[in-house]
A and B are shown apart, each in its own frame.
Chain A
Amino acid sequence: MSDEEIKEAAPPSHSVGVQVKGLRKSYGGQPVLKGIDLEVKRGEIFVIMGPSGSGKSVFLKQIIGLENPDEGEILIEGESIHAEGVMDKYRLAMVFQSGALLNSLTVGENVGLYLSEHRLKSPSEISRISNEKLEFLGLKNVRDRFPSELSGGMKKRVAIARALVIDPQLILYDEPTSELDPLMTVTIGKEILDLSERIHVTSIVVTHDRDLAFGVADRIAMMNDGNLLAVGIPDEIRHHRDPLIQKFLTADFNLNDKEPA
């Protein structure tokens, strides 16, 4: 899908675009993000792929405002997220790697937490919306169960349902398929695609799962050691000449390479 097609497919009224300029972040003098520049267009599924420890999850935390960058700027629809009131103006949601469901609450309470804590709806309305979102993700009869009673894939889907309650304009997914079997990986990938089409939300997906990345992405950014190596549509990344990218994309078990003992 070309950039123009992506723009046309997404209604500008709902989804939002994100711009990142010169983003740097260090922990204890150790640089983790070394100057990231990129743009995520409205309504697209933008995948950030790279090996573990390359700074992908830290990058997401900066975008959602959980941490502040040392340098650089993050803009949503041209407005800095650190400016007064900007984070309240746009509806951003994040699906955490572990799901991050509150273990002391039931699934239904988790999904309706945003509405109940901000007193946005009546309890019966919250219950109806929670059920609706859970059913939207194919989850039935789990409303009264606790997160500890769910499988990894179900937890991830509940986390997505919780994110949907906000009616988000931007969803950030942190390793949405980690710890999942291939079938559940495909299910979650389909959910991401489906949501993008049905509610026209902008999605930023951080993953090291190559199948997921090429399966859902409109564009992919390759990240390594706090730097962006390349940004492009999946085909461009697949045929990119950078040896680090090729090494990451083609890494495989090859028992014949094993030196004899």
Chain B
Amino acid sequence: MFQNIGELIVLFWRTLNALPAVVRQRRKVFDQLFEIGNASLLMACILSLFIGGVITLQTGPVLAERGLSSAIGGLVGLSVCKELAPVMMAILIAGRIGSAMAAEIGSMRVYQEIDALRTMNINPIHYLVLPRMIAISIALPILVIFAILIGWFGGGMVAVYNEEIGLTFQAFLGNLRDVVDLGDVANGLFKSFVFAVVIGIVSCHQGLVTIGGPRGIGRSVTKAVVNSIVLILILDYFLTRFLMYLE
């Protein structure tokens, strides 16, 4: 485990050092961005619509019963933008994109494509890791923006159409505006950026250390997804503490 953490830190450091090469790799960054967006945007929208909806469904009737229905907008707004959107989108991306990264790089490793790159003096970190890291670090916060907006919309819809809550959309939105400020959204976006770096580095690392043919690729994919999710959930707590301290 400690060896893995050490390797992750070394890979992250090397990727940071490779940053100046990003201009030369911009085409690959765009390709990766397109792939991530294409694979995840629709899923992210559907997921966040229902997340917002279910939060309102769970909390709305309880608050309405106690005459606090006007607080629903703020509750849904805060929980979606600070917690649910960044964490759920990160888990979605770990499953959809992290697994694909580990599988692609892993198969390149197993079928000697990475060795071929090295014999041509092409650094696999510049060629493979850097574009993926940059793309996921841009794409995940953008997806989270979509997720926040759609999550709020989903929450609002349930608040309006659920008979036990019966709020107007204006009232829901008004309360949301009173409670949630830009800092809260930035809080969620910062978290999602850190999660993106974690998913990218864990998945690329698992790909690069793949050994043993197709079974090895399968193992790497599983490890990439599981390790990313575990790290996201652990880091989420510490990031929340850190951001609360800053507030």
| Interface residues of A, Cβ cutoff 8 Å to B | 61, 64-66, 87-88, 92-94, 96-98, 100-104, 113-114, 117-119, 162, 166
Contacts and interface: CB of A to CB of B under 8 A. Distances in A.
B116 interface: yes
B116 A102 contact: yes
Contacts of A102: 108, 113, 116-117
B120 A100 contact: no
Given A88-B121, A113-B120, A118-B121, A96 B24 contact: no
Contacts of A88: 121
Given A117-B127, A119-B24, A93 B119 contact: yes
A contact patch SS? loop
A65 B104 CA distance: 24
A66 B127 contact: no
B113 A166 contact: no
Interface of B: 24, 104, 107-108, 111-113, 115-122, 127
B51 to A, nearest CB: 34
Given A88-B121, A119-B24, A166-B120, A96 B115 contact: yes
Nearest to A64: B119
A93 B118 CA distance: 10
Contact of A100 (B104, B115, B122): B115
Nearest to A88: B121
B111 to A, nearest CB: 6
Contacts of B118: 65-66
B113 A100 contact: yes
A94 B119 contact: yes
Nearest to A113: B120
A166 B119 CA distance: 10
B121 A94 contact: no
A117 B122 contact: yes
8 contacts: A88-B121, A94-B116, A100-B112, A103-B108, A117-B120, A117-B122, A117-B127, A118-B121
A101 B120 CA distance: 12
Given A114-B120, A118-B121, A98 B112 contact: yes
A214 B112 CA distance: 28
Interface centre among B104, B112, B119 (most CB of A within 10 A): B119
Contacts of A65: 118
B122 A114 contact: yes
Contacts of A162: 116
Nearest to A91: B121
A104 B108 CA distance: 10
Contacts of B113: 100-103
Nearest to A97: B112
Nearest to B28: A104
